[in-house]
Amino acid sequence: MSEAIKYAMGEDRIPHSWYNIVADFPTPPPPVLHPGHGGPIGPDDLAPLFPMALIGQEVSTERHIQIPKPVRDIYRMWRPTPLHRARRLEQALGTTARIFYKYEGVSPAGSHKPNTAVAQAFYNKAEGVTKLSTETGAGQWGSSLAFAGALFGLEVKVFMVKVSYQQKPYRRALMETYGATCVASPSNETEAGRAILAAHPESPGSLGMAISEAVEVAAKNADTKYALGSVLNHVLMHQTVIGIEAIEQMEAADAYPDVVIGCAGGGSNFAGLAFPFIGKKLRDKRDVRVIAVEPAACPSLTRGTYAFDFGDTAHMTPLVKMHTLGSEFVPPGFHAGGLRYHGMAPLVSHCKELGLIEARAYHQNPCFEAGVLFARNEGIVPAPESTHAVRAAIDEALKAREEGKSPTILFNLSGHGHFDMQAYTDYFAGKLRDQDYDPKELEASLAHLPKLAAE
């Protein structure tokens, strides 16, 4: 019976600025291209979708961007989040490794997503926007934007992937409790949705489809802007409060990670923890292995193509260069967690191309096995997404035991699983299948990657 070890910090230690990794890259990331003419996109092209402050952040090369006081004031509701040493888990594994985790599930919405939701709501409000439209898959992002919208008095409309909408009524109820409107996507409310329903009436939906619907609503309504919960540069940057705090907390623990791990769907919680450590590696030559973990059912980093692609199914978004499974890729419906986006954040993809990060893919049963072991030792039930990071941390710790080494491992426990207990029930009942994506579907999807004049 070892003691719980938590490295808490006072509110005065909440970071005063976000970290922009672009400032430290040895080579700049590729430009964003216009979906129509294929040339580089300008701020005016993005203005119908985003407030100018966020567009400025999207293209900024400044290393530090100040966190506005009202945003930092709301962060105080749950930040700094705790860093824990997983001593009980270490003992259960009999490992010589030290395992630390940063726990983002203490936010009111239960995950890391409010870090950017609050920032996005603030900048939109500041520029006079009154309504936000967005998409959500498993529901973590939609409920976080609903939370932020409530605090800033913004109307929030969420297009929720239909299969999740049906399977996760509690997530929908959470959004509605915060005052947001939640619609199953594909819906009849948009041209994009109607087109999909006409072709595939039984479509279970996908993030790509839901993004098309949410973007369309923003593009067609002057009072509405669009908000994205991952992928974009400014979204990842808002999440860097996680890693900035973790560096200081690790110092308080007299430690520095040899390995940093995060699960990766669009890439935001992974980047939030990892980028500040990668920055130290680039600037201070402080060595660190960084591992992105994705589901084998939706393996953009490990099986995707690095190419310019659309962010959505209806091809309304700009083209970004990323590891992609193709915008028409729909992951198998049996997959229990989130992490279902067809592409990886351009900045994470760039890190992969530069050799700054590793990637691996896991099937879901070993992840839930890890999640249960974690819950019974550390007391926190991880979100299905987060179990991917737990699994990788455990595997690294077991490898260390075999090799007789004592590395320090740090992973991001991005959220709790309280809204996802059905997935645990299915796991215990042996109902979760460990199946890869369909290779034929991947091939077909990749065949539709946009052909660019420049390539």
Interacting residue ranges for its own copies, rule: CB under 8 A: 1, 3-6, 8, 10-11, 69-70, 73-74, 76-77, 84, 88, 106, 108, 110, 125, 147, 150-152, 169-174, 176-179, 371-372, 375-377, 379-381, 416, 418-419, 421-422, 424-425, 428
Kindly tell me which of 108 and 450 has the beta carbon lying closer to its own copies: 108
Comparing CB distances to its own copies, the nearer of 1 and 447 is 1
Q: Quote the least distance from Cβ 293 to its own copies, whole Å.
A: 21
- Smaller CB distance to its own copies: residue 283 or 376? 376
Query: What single letter denotes the amino acid at residue 380?
Result: I
- Residues 6 or more apart whose CB falls under 8 angstroms from that of 67 comprise 15, 16, 17, 18, 75, 119, 241
Q: How far is the CB of 314 from its own copies (least distance, A)?
A: 31
Work out how close the CB of 80 gets to its own copies at its nearest, in angstroms, rounded to a whole number: 9
The minimum distance between CB 320 and its own copies, in angstroms, equals 32
Distance CA 102, CA 412 (A): 5
User: In angstroms, how far is CA 174 from the centroid of its own chain?
Assistant: 19
Element (H, E) at 275: helix 268-284
CB of 341 to its own copies, least distance (A): 24
How many Å separate Cα 310 from the centre of its chain? 18
Q: Is 418 exposed, middle or buried (0-12, 13-18, 19+ CB in 10 A)?
A: exposed
**CB of residue 86 to its own copies, shortest distance in Å:** 11
The nearer residue to its own copies, 360 or 416, going by C-beta atoms, is 416
d(CA 139, CA 249): 29
- Quick one: which of 144, 254, 135, 238 has its CA closest to 187? 135
Work out the end-to-end distance of the chain between its first and last CA atoms, rounded to an integer number of angstroms: 60
- State the minimum distance, in angstroms, from the CB of residue 213 to its own copies: 23
Cβ proximity to its own copies: between 74 and 301 the closer is: 74
Can you spell out the DSSP letters for 72-90? HHHHTTTPSPPEEE-HHHH
Judging by beta carbons within 10 Å of its beta carbon (0-12, 13-18, 19+), is residue 158 exposed, middle or buried?
buried
- 4/444 with CB nearer its own copies: 4
Q: Which is nearer to its own copies, 333 or 379 (CB)?
A: 379
